[in-house]
Structure 1
Amino acid sequence: MSQRYAIQPGQVPAPGARKLLEFDGKSLALFNVSGQFYAIDDSCPHQGASLCGGLLQGRVIQCCAHGLRFDLASGYLLNSTALKVGHYPVEVLEGQVFIVIDAEESVS
């Protein structure tokens, strides 16, 4: 079972922007890449640095700490499946944006 978390209109990033969001103590980064939304854990799986403030190129985010680059769509390190950041589906229903988190990935 999954849980939908509604994003308040003021927290929805404009195209090319991103927002850091908190749900029950868990930090997620929400990106808007040309109208397509992507949500990932804000913590780099390498050493925990924030990903939200990293360099964004298309749908690739680069960690500020060590330069690791992750595909926002899959969560995987570019050109590798050795390292992955948690990523979550984003739905837009009647203009409302939701991040969908499966029960086993629950933010509680």
Structure 2
Amino acid sequence: METNEKTQSRNRVVLFPAEQLKPGDRKLVKIDKLEIAIINVDNNLYAFRNECPHQGISMIYGPVTGTMIPSNPQEYKYGLDDQLIKCPLHGWEFDLKTGKSLFSPNKVSLITYDVRNEDNQIVLYLKRESKSISITDFHCSLICN
């Protein structure tokens, strides 16, 4: 288990066994009144507030995608595959690692949280203590793709 400055000042919350979040799976964690979406993308874990900063839409429904990247005129390049989550309502794209939007990275961000697989347990680090925790399995159908 890796301990660093980022995790030392935070509250460690053990959520569930890692086997319950396989690649492609999503879970909705409600901590007190805060909803956090946790997803596994090719064994990379991401946690973010389940609320788009634009109009508060649930981000857990958003597809994990890539996007068109800068290229020469008349050239179309796709990149950042499986590195973005897209708002399911208006299509705003956010980097899964940083939460920063692609269109205005210094002004608009999705709030992200430190989540890890530690000793085969999914662990979330928060700035505050939690009083109540509930976890809901989330099954994506066609809406998340």
Q: TM-score range by the shorter chain?
A: 0.7 to 0.9
The answer on whether the counterparts of 1:12 and 1:19 sit within 8 Å (CA) in structure 2 is: no
In structure 1, what is the Cα distance between the partners aligned to 2:34 and 2:18? 19
1:19 aligned to 2:34? no
TM-score (norm 2): 0.66
CA distance in 1, matches of 2:18, 2:103: 35
Q: Judging changes above 3 Å, is the alpha-carbon distance between structure 1 residues 59 and 83 closer, same or farther for their aligned structure 2 residues?
A: same
> Does the CA-based 8 Å contact 2:49-2:112 persist in structure 1?
yes
Q: Runs of 4+ in structure 1 displaced over 3 angstroms?
A: none
- Trace 1:2-41 onto structure 2 (pairs within 5 A): 2-9=10-17, 12-41=20-49
Change in Cα spacing, 1:11 to 1:52, as seen in structure 2 (3 Å) is farther
CA distance in 2, matches of 1:48, 1:28: 13
TM-score by length of 1: 0.87
Identity of aligned residues (%): 31
Contact 2:19 2:120 in 1 (8 A): no
1:87 to 104, 112, 120: 112
Q: Report if aligned partners of 2:18, 2:122 keep a CA contact under 8 Å in 1.
A: no
Bigger relative CO (Cα 8 Å, ≥ 6 apart): 2
Larger Cα-atom Rg: 2
Distance 1:101 1:29, change over 3 A: same
Given residue 24 of structure 2, which amino acid in structure 1 is its aligned partner?
A: G
Which residues of structure 2 form unaligned runs of 5+? 1-8, 66-81, 132-145
What is residue 60 of structure 1 aligned with on the other side? 84
Aligned counterparts of 2:130 and 2:84: Cα–Cα separation in 1: 24
Query: What is the CA-CA distance between 1:13 and the residue it aligns to?
Result: 2.3
Q: Output aligned runs, 1:64-83, within 5 Å.
A: 64-81=88-105, 82-83=107-108
Q: CA deviation at 1:107?
A: 5.9
Equivalent residues of 1:4, 1:101 under 8 A apart: yes
Please provide the CA RMSD for this pair: 1.9
Structure 1: any 5+ residue segments left out of the alignment?
none
- CA distance in 2 between counterparts of 1:11 and 1:41 reads 22
